[in-house]
């Protein structure tokens, strides 16, 4: 595996226990926190201050799994905890990339069963990958594990570039952290709400967001189909096209 940049990793069990256990668990359900309540509570915290609540949680995760992270770094893996130490969920909201929820692959790296190299890919040769430092790594098959494509990019592919440019960047908060340029938006760019392109809406996200925000998207669409006035206070201005 070639690691081109640092990655934030958190163990699945630790994430569920420390990060989400009070909302999404059998114990939470026993305490009367249904899935619907949990989704509403999670969505009620303003994005502007959310990182302040996330930082201490990820500090606990880093402390709990200190041996795990030390072993990963010893194997040569480059770790990070987000631009401000706020961990996985803020990375997800800000840029939708740069993290991995570990369910076992990290141990393969620690044990040396998955070999690791770091650097930028400069060239694909007939039988190898050539890195920027000149090192060549022989390969029979190359898997481009580059993450998700942007929704804006899909608009360009499925409709046209002019429509994609009219809508602008989709996802992110404008936090001025890596891959999430400002200005501050206060909510997810172009998600679950009217866009600059009439009749084009975006829906996506994890299970929590899909459950919760699909309700508001459905209500907005239903109102329009029923000719109920749905004035938009202010369409989101376009600051970034990609």
Shared domain for 98 and 197, answered yes or no, is no
Residue 183 preceded by cis peptide, ω within 30: yes
Q: Which of 44-58, 68-82, 170-184, 227-241 has the lowest mean pLDDT?
A: 227-241
Written as six digits, the tokens of 151 are 């929704």
- Evaluate if residue 233 carries a pLDDT over 90: no
Count of domains for the chain: 2
| pTM summary value | 0.91
* Average pLDDT, integer, range 176-195: 94
- Evaluate if residue 18 carries a pLDDT over 90: yes
* Average pLDDT, integer, range 123-141: 93
* Average pLDDT, integer, range 99-106: 96
CA-based nearest residue to 96, from 184, 209, 231: 209
- Evaluate if residue 104 carries a pLDDT over 90: yes
The predicted structure's pLDDT at residue 186: 87
* Average pLDDT, integer, range 73-90: 96
30: domain range? 2-138
- Evaluate if residue 40 carries a pLDDT over 80: yes
Q: Is residue 123 very low, low, confident or very high in pLDDT (cuts 50, 70, 90)?
A: very high
The predicted structure's pLDDT at residue 146: 80
* Average pLDDT, integer, range 77-105: 95
The predicted structure's pLDDT at residue 128: 94
Q: Are strands 99-102 and 136-138 parallel, antiparallel or unpaired?
A: unpaired
Whole-angstrom distance, CA of residue 118 vs CA of residue 77: 8
Residue % of the chain over a pLDDT of 90: 91
- Evaluate if residue 134 carries a pLDDT over 80: yes
Question: Is 234 among the domain residues?
Answer: no
End-to-end CA distance of the chain: 28
* Average pLDDT, integer, range 220-228: 96
Question: Is 110 among the domain residues?
Answer: yes
The predicted structure's pLDDT at residue 97: 92
Whole-angstrom distance, CA of residue 242 vs CA of residue 239: 9
Shared domain for 134 and 171, answered yes or no, is no
Coil, strand or helix at 224: helix
Shared domain for 95 and 208, answered yes or no, is no
Cβ(69)–Cβ(63) below 8 Å: no
Shared domain for 16 and 124, answered yes or no, is yes
Shared domain for 21 and 102, answered yes or no, is yes
Shared domain for 114 and 160, answered yes or no, is no
Shared domain for 203 and 101, answered yes or no, is no
Q: Which segments of 31-134 does DSSP mark as H helices, in order?
A: 35-44, 47-64, 66-74, 87-94, 105-110
* Average pLDDT, integer, range 210-239: 93
The predicted structure's pLDDT at residue 192: 95
Shared domain for 130 and 20, answered yes or no, is yes
Average pLDDT, the chain: 94
The predicted structure's pLDDT at residue 164: 96
Question: What pLDDT digit, counting tens, does each position of 45-67 carry?
Answer: 999 999 999 999 999 999 999 99
Number of H helices, E strands in the chain: 10, 7
């Amino acid at each position: 595996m070639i690691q081109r940049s640092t990655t934030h990793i958190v163990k699945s069990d630790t994430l569920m226990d420390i990060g989400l256990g009070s909302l999404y668990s059998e114990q939470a359900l026993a305490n009367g926190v249904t899935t619907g309540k949990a989704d509403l509570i999670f969505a009620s915290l303003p994005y502007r201050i959310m990182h302040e609540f996330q930082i201490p949680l990820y500090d606990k995760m880093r402390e709990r799994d200190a041996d795990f992270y030390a072993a990963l770094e010893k194997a040569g893996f480059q770790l990070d905890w987000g631009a401000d130490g706020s961990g996985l969920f803020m990375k997800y909201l800000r840029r939708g990339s740069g993290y991995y929820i570990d369910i076992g692959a990290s141990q393969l790296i620690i044990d040396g069963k998955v070999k690791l190299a770091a650097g930028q890919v400069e060239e694909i040769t007939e039988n190898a990958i050539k890195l920027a430092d000149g090192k060549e790594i022989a390969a029979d098959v190359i898997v481009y594990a580059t993450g998700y494509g942007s929704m804006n990019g899909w608009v360009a592919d499925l409709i046209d570039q002019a429509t994609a440019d009219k809508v602008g960047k989709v996802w992110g908060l404008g936090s001025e952290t890596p891959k999430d340029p400002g200005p501050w938006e206060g909510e997810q760019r172009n998600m679950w709400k009217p866009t600059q392109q009439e009749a084009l809406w975006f829906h996506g996200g994890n299970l929590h967001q899909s459950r919760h925000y699909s309700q508001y998207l459905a209500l907005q669409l239903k109102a329009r189909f029923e000719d109920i006035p749905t004035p938009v206070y202010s369409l989101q201005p376009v600051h970034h096209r990609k």
